[in-house]
Amino acid sequence: MIVETKKRSLVKAFSWRILATLTTILIVYLVFHNLKLASIAGGFEFIAKIIVYFIHERVWNKIRFGKEEIEPFVIWITGLPLSGKTTIGDEVAERLKKVGFRVERLDGRDIRKLFPKTGFSQEDRIVHNERVAHLASILERNGICVVASFVSPYEEMRSFARGLCKNFVEVYLKCDVETCEKRDREGLYERARRGEIKNFTGISDPYEEPVDPEIMVDVRKMNIGEATDKIVGYVKRRFLR
């Protein structure tokens, strides 16, 4: 996202006024050879200054001074299956787009077409996580904010992603297995308990809780709106200044 700083506008205001006043004085002097008759020049001024202003704007359009880019960032949402990562990620992405950020959503749901042959074994998960982290960092380095939502159960995975990205915001959706299981209309937890799904995080594969995430959301105590507010609020405070 590109914004203009107040400093830029202030410097433009000074440069414009000096230019405009000199123009008025010059026109009056050329027409009447009398500086006191400046008021008569109002008509000339109106037309002339519009041209001068326009040129002035076009010149400034080439000058980068005071044009700043808000730093892009990667919001990495981690948590147990069914803890609400996708829903909250979608909400956060929508809100950030409204603020003016360029946002790309990365979610298990739609990322598999990029990486079609990935399974769910521990090794496959780590490789998959690395690819997503690389993708996120490519996007971030090109000025795009990323909202990534992945179980990413191992500390190693999240550290890897953190290491690649410049502004990494780890969001931990804290929730216990029981609460997640209650929300599970597709019966994934049940199938995992019966052994039909292997390496299921929380049941047959460990979830290592984040040690020091930037944001912690206890989804048992906060609804989607509150969680979104907390995340978007943090991002605005840290990156919009």
Q: What is the largest CA-CA distance in the chain?
A: 98
Of 241, 146, 151, 159, which Cα lies nearest the Cα of 192? 151
Q: Does 209 bind its own copies (CB under 8 A)?
A: no
Q: Does 142 bind its own copies (CB under 8 A)?
A: yes
Of 222, 226, 220, 72, which Cα lies nearest the Cα of 143? 72
SS3 97: helix
Q: How far is the CB of 139 from its own copies (least distance, A)?
A: 7
152 noted as active-site residue: yes
Q: Does 139 bind its own copies (CB under 8 A)?
A: yes
With contact defined as beta carbons under 8 Å apart, do 211 and 154 qualify?
no
With contact defined as beta carbons under 8 Å apart, do 169 and 214 qualify?
yes
Segment near its own copies (CB under 8 A), from 41-49, 83-91, 180-188, 227-235? Answer: 41-49
Q: Does 126 bind its own copies (CB under 8 A)?
A: no
Q: Considering 83, 137, 149, 152, which one is annotated as catalytic?
A: 152
Handedness of CA 36, 40, 42, 47 (dihedral sign): negative
Q: Does 3 bind its own copies (CB under 8 A)?
A: yes
With contact defined as beta carbons under 8 Å apart, do 135 and 108 qualify?
no
CB of 46 or CB of 237, closer to its own copies:
46
Query: Which residues from 43-102 bind its own copies, rule CB under 8 A?
Result: 45-46, 49-51, 53-54, 57-58, 61, 102
What are the φ and ψ backbone dihedral angles of 172, each rounded to 5 degrees?
-100, 115
CB of 50 or CB of 211, closer to its own copies:
50
Residues interacting with its own copies, by CB under 8 A?
2-4, 6, 9-10, 12-14, 16-17, 20-21, 24, 35-39, 42, 45-46, 49-51, 53-54, 57-58, 61, 102, 104, 113-117, 127, 130-131, 134-135, 138-139, 142-144
